[in-house]
Amino acid sequence: MSNSGLYRLVKHHKAIIQEKVTLYSRGKGLGIVYVLMTLVICSCQLPAAEKPAIAGDKDVALITVDVDSLPTENTVRYSSLFEDVEFIQLETSEMSQLGKISQIEVVNDTFFILDDAYARSVLLFASNGKFLRKVGKVGRGKGEYLKPSSFTVDVQTHTVLIVDRMLSKIVRYNYRGEYIEEIVPRKCDMVLSVGVEHSNLYVHNVPNHPNQSGNALVMHIDDRGRPDQSYLTDVSVFSKLGLDSSSPFFNYQNGLRCYTEFSNYVYSLEDKRMTKYVHLKSATVPKRTILGETLKHTYDPTDPSTGFRSIPGVWGIHNYLENDEWIYFKYLSKGNDHSVFYAKSANDPIVTNRLIDDMTGGYSAGKFLSISEKGMVSYLFGRRINSSRFSVDPFFEKVNDGSIRLNKENRKILDHYTHQNNPVLMVYNFKVKDEKN
């Protein structure tokens, strides 16, 4: 499927179904307990007295992007946004071998990279690509997980929190990879990701009973995993359809950003208080009832994206990233991805449905997984699976035959690249705005 947003939705659903089947087949009794718990016992209802701590509908978001007043069906070239692109070859060794990049976080010039399929752990690399260490341990015991679905970095405690959605638990390690603690959120059906704000922990949950009031997509939990605050509880049909398999939390400085399925808002979480932060505004935003009914009647569990193309309007913020100067995210319009680059200092949003990477020969479509203070982070992999065999990525072939010309520094990095090497990170450095202008 060419549309990346819809592809992630299909991938997300298949992964959840496959994980339940795999757990049953491997764990037998454990699988039975897990399925029964998620289908019958667990519910994310909180006591009625605990009202969601969320901004009201009359509260105004700090940043508004009105896409109706902006050109959206246009072409944006990377060279208009970025000064240059830096290639970083990740060190390849027996300990650092990556088969897949699922998630990247950049903290103090260190790349934290999750490989949820092969290494099944978080690997740390220095800014020059040197491998530092591996964090996480696969297993069924305490301090172990079956499969990592996402992670976050707690910069205050210098720890990494890895989420195991198969067992709905969170395992915390320090930067050296040493086990610290295990947190099992209570009253949750399936925990997909975790966010940290100061000492506050928030979990992203998928309720199995979306029609019951009290179900929450986001919850604050204490250090024993007990939920004491709920957010975004009006989920109805939306909770069974995941837009993006990545974490809906984004750590920015000492705060936390949050977005959920089918929302036109990005929220800010601070001291257990949720407020609107970014508003994707359009007169064509479908009402939740219409959107819900459309998805309900067109939903096909074998192909969850079936009804998406028939939904008009603007909706579904995902892939949110932010640094001091820029905000980036994607949204859907008629089932197609659109990208937004918002310059904070200039209050100047750029919206496009066609991104062209003219800095690397037009090959990369710009799948940004992370952001640093300097720029956006993407990657190239030297191999791809094609008909059950590995083949060299076309980008490297074009570099070798001279079709794509790179500067000396980047060309030197790729000179001895083979399909056995780890991926190459690509950091697109933003242009520095001239303050005089």
Q: Which pLDDT band holds residue 287 (cuts at 50, 70, 90)?
A: confident
CB-neighbour burial class of residue 114 (10 A; exposed 0-12, middle 13-18, buried 19+): buried
State the average pLDDT over residues 88-94: 94
Q: What's the Rg (C-alpha) of the chain?
A: 21
**Which residues are within 8 A (CB) of 125 and not within 5 positions of it... i.e. 6 or more apart?**
90, 91, 96, 110, 111, 113, 131, 132
**Which residues are within 8 A (CB) of 51 and not within 5 positions of it... i.e. 6 or more apart?**
none
Percent helix, strand, coil in the chain (nearest 5)? 15, 35, 45
Residue 2 has pLDDT above 70, yes or no: no
Which residue, among 253, 247, 241, has the nearest Cα to 103 in the 3D structure?
247
**Cβ contact 232:279 at 8 Å:** no
Per residue in 145-163, pLDDT (tens digit) is 999 999 999 999 999 999 9
pLDDT of residue 129: 97
* Residue appearing with tokens 């966010």: 195
State the average pLDDT over residues 334-360: 91
Counting residues of the chain whose pLDDT is more than 70, the rounded percentage is 71
Q: Work out the number of other CB atoms within 10 angstroms of the CB of residue 140.
A: 11
Task: Tell me the residue ranges of DSSP E strands in 259-365.
Answer: 265-270, 273-281, 314-322, 326-333, 336-343, 348-352, 354-356
State the average pLDDT over residues 315-324: 92
Residue 112 Cα distances to 249, 351, 362, angstroms: 16, 29, 27
pTM score above 0.75: yes
Alpha-carbon dihedral sign for residues 315, 316, 322, 328? negative
Residue 362 token pair: 């037009």
DSSP H/E element including 8:
helix 4-27
Residue 290 has pLDDT above 80, yes or no: no
Alpha-carbon dihedral sign for residues 32, 36, 38, 43? negative
For 76-81, the CB contacts below 8 A with 24+ separation are 76/339, 76/341, 76/350, 76/352, 76/354, 76/355, 76/356, 77/356, 77/358, 78/355, 78/356, 78/357, 78/358, 78/359, 78/366, 78/428, 79/358, 79/359, 81/341, 81/350, 81/428, 81/430, 81/431
What's the maximum distance between 2 C-alpha atoms anywhere in the chain? 68
DSSP H/E element including 424:
strand 424-430
Per residue in 198-235, pLDDT (tens digit) is 989 999 887 765 544 356 788 999 989 999 998 886 54
287/248 Cα distance (integer angstroms): 22
Residue 89 token pair: 């070859």
267/258 Cα distance (integer angstroms): 5
Task: Using CA atoms of 229, 234, 236, 240 in order, give the dihedral in degrees to the nearest 10.
Answer: -50
CATH code of the region 4-52+61-430: 2.120.10.30
Per residue in 178-208, pLDDT (tens digit) is 999 999 998 887 888 999 999 899 998 877 6
Residue 382 has pLDDT above 50, yes or no: yes
Q: Which pLDDT band holds residue 52 (cuts at 50, 70, 90)?
A: very low
For 221-224, the CB contacts below 8 A with 24+ separation are 221/183, 221/185, 221/186, 223/183, 224/183
DSSP letters along 345-378, please?
TTTEEEEESEEE-TTTTT-------EE-SSEEEE
Highest-confidence segment of 21-25, 313-317, 351-355: 351-355
Mean pLDDT for all residues in the chain: 79
